[in-house]
């Protein structure tokens, strides 16, 4: 296969590129990434010299850039997005541009060349579930997004589905739960908690901390996308979730604190996030039945491995937190 991966310098996209080139050594990957604050070419160390890998710095909102990047490609895996809810509350505009307009531009390029299009989306499009219930999101759950981030992702999902129904574009969509693992930008809860503790800083927990997320180890996500690309039914959406029992934010933070030998005085309850969704939980039985998907990395074990990864890669996240990582690609690539 010849893949165009968008947003491949971000957290999940870079894990996916490592995963794909390791497991499909004969394939070719083009990585199109704007290198926003969230894009970091240091996430791709070891890959950049692979002759099957090409990096293009560019914006998915620009049709000329996208058309060029899509030349000779048979599959697009679309990760590029503004991905942080808190930023979308402060500055929604770039979310509308990248997540909605950018997806439209990619769809147009795919339509002209009839390229298979896999769209990476989120469970946040479904809104919030009640605490203390056993209700789960399903593929048919109506969309009800709460933040500018989730609303922009919802809009992009609708566009992708419409290109299948209207133009017969071969698409698939995955809506996944909260990922964690190596190379996650330390603005998200888990890497923020780990790196703050190493730095001796407190961990901010929003509101009462009883909000529940369905945690998914990033490699399970990569495997799920692989299954969808290889076996997924064209036109379909698959929900992909993790294997955790329901665990609240404050429990996640306490677990990290215990594993790192600190105490609960490191928790700082802060004011509530506006529009904060209470609970996410996914029913991934369709992906299990049709694709043989099953999360293989337990939260219990992989939260420990994730902590160890951040402890071993202090240089990586310190450069991210200080902003130095943006110098790296200027030096290496002159971009
Ligand atoms: P991220 O913020 O770590 O990375 C996003 C990447 O996209 C960065 O490399 C950035 O430079 C690039 N990018 C942003 N705007 C761009 C543009 N206009 N043109 C080209 N590149 C651009 O995000 P992530 O956590 O890796 O998420 C990847 C995808 O997965 C997103 O679509 C997100 O909505 C989805 N998702 C994420 C999670 C999660 O827990 N992180 C869960 C479900 C779905
Ligand atoms: P986050 O990692 O931002 O992912 P998302 O908002 O996409 O679910 O947040 C995960 C949960 O942790 C969410 O309920 C918000 C909460 N949170 C905090 O309590 N404190 C923080 O500093 C952050 C970043 C998140």
Point out which residues pair with 122 in neighbouring strands: 176
Nearest residue by C-alpha to atom 5 in ligand 1? 10
Query: Quick one: which ligand is closest to 35's CA?
Result: 1
The pTM of the whole model exceeds 0.85:
yes
Q: What is the mean pLDDT of the chain?
A: 96
- Domain positions in the chain: 2-185+215-243+278-298
Q: Examine the pLDDT at 138 and tell me if it is beyond 60.
A: yes
End-to-end CA distance of the chain: 28
Average pLDDT of the residues in 26-36: 98
Q: Which bin fits 127, alpha (ψ -120 to 50), beta or left (φ > 0)? A: left
Å from CA of 38 to ligand 1 middle: 8
Handedness of CA 207, 210, 213, 215 (dihedral sign): positive
pLDDT for 171 equals: 98
Helix (H) or strand (E) holding 118: strand 116-122
pLDDT in tens, 159-198: 999 999 999 999 999 999 999 999 999 999 999 999 999 9
pLDDT at 329: 61
170 CB less than 6 Å from ligand 2?
A: no
Return the pLDDT at 244. 75
Q: For residue 295, how far is the Cα from the chain centroid?
A: 16
Write down the pLDDT at residue 100.
Answer: 99
Residues 6+ apart with CB under 8 A from 265: none
Asked if 268 contacts 205 with a C-beta cutoff of 8 angstroms, the reply is yes
171 within ligand 2 shell (Cβ under 6 A): no
149-157: average pLDDT: 99
Place of tokens 């896999």: 118
**Given this model, what pLDDT does residue 333 score?**
56
Distance CA 19, CA 145 (A): 31
- In this prediction, residue 328 carries a pLDDT of 65
Determine the atom of ligand 1 nearest the C-alpha atom of 84.
Answer: 2
In order of 36, 48, 50, 223, 335, the CA distances from 41 in angstroms are 11, 9, 14, 22, 11
pLDDT exceeds cutoff 80 at 28: yes
Burial of 92 (0-12, 13-18, 19+ CB in 10 A): middle
Query: How far apart are alpha carbons 34 and 262 in whole angstroms?
Result: 38
The answer to whether residue 335 scores a pLDDT higher than 60 is no
pLDDT of residue 188: 97
Dist CA 284 CA 106 (whole Å): 27
pLDDT of residue 50: 97
Neighbours of 78 (CB within 10 A): 26
Centre a 10 Å sphere on the Cβ of residue 147 and count the other Cβ atoms it contains. 23
Q: Does the Cβ of 178 fall within 6 Å of ligand 2?
A: yes
252's tokens: 């996640």
Range list of H helices, 118-266:
148-167, 189-199, 218-231, 249-259
Is CATH 3.60.15.10 what the domain over 2-185+215-243+278-298 is classified as, yes or no?
Answer: no
Minimum-distance ligand 1 atom for the alpha carbon of 216: 40
Residue whose token pair is 């993790």: 242
**Cβ < 6 A, ligand 1 pocket:** 6-7, 9-13, 33-36, 38-39, 59-61, 79-83, 98, 102, 120-122, 153, 176, 178-179, 185
- Average pLDDT of the segment spanning 323-334: 69
Percent of the chain's residues with pLDDT above 90? 95
For residue 110, pLDDT beyond 90: yes
The predicted-structure confidence for 187-243, as pLDDT tens digits, reads as follows 999 999 999 999 999 999 999 999 999 999 999 999 999 999 999 999 999 999 998
**Which pLDDT band holds residue 66 (cuts at 50, 70, 90)?**
very high
Distance 10 CA to ligand 1 centre (A): 6
């Amino acid at each position: 296969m010849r893949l165009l991966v968008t947003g491949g310098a971000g957290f999940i996209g870079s894990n996916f590129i490592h995963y794909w080139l390791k497991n499909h050594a004969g394939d070719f990957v083009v990585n199109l990434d704007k290198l926003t604050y969230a894009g970091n070419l240091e996430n791709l160390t070891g890959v950049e010299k692979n002759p099957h890998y090409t990096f293009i710095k560019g914006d998915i909102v620009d049709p000329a850039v996208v058309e060029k990047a899509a030349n000779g490609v048979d599959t697009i895996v679309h990760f590029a997005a503004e991905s942080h809810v808190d930023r979308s509350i402060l500055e929604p505009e770039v979310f509308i541009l990248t997540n909605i307009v950018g997806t439209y531009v990619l769809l147009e390029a795919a339509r002209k060349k009839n390229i298979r299009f896999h769209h990476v989306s989120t469970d946040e499009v479904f809104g919030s579930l009640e605490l203390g219930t056993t209700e789960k999101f399903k593929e048919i759950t109506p969309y009800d997004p709460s933040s500018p981030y989730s609303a922009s992702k919802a809009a992009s999902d609708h566009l992708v589905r419409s290109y299948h129904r209207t133009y017969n574009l071969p698409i698939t969509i995955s809506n996944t739960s909260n990922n964690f693992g190596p190379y996650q930008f330390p603005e998200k809860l888990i890497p923020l908690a780990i790196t703050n503790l190493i730095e001796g800083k407190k961990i901010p927990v929003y509101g009462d901390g009883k909000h529940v997320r369905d945690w998914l180890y990033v490699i399970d996500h990569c495997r799920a996308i692989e299954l969808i690309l290889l076996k997924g039914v064209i036109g379909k959406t698959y929900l992909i979730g993790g294997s955790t029992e329901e665990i609240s934010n404050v429990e996640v933070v306490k677990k990290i604190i215990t594993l790192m030998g600190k105490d609960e005085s490191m928790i700082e309850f802060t004011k509530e996030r506006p529009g904060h969704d209470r609970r996410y939980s996914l029913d991934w039985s369709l992906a299990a039945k049709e694709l043989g998907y099953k999360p293989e990395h337990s939260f219990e074990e992989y939260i420990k491995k994730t902590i160890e990864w951040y402890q071993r890669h202090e240089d990586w996240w310190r450069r991210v937190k200080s902003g130095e990582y943006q110098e790296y690609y200027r030096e290496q690539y002159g971009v």
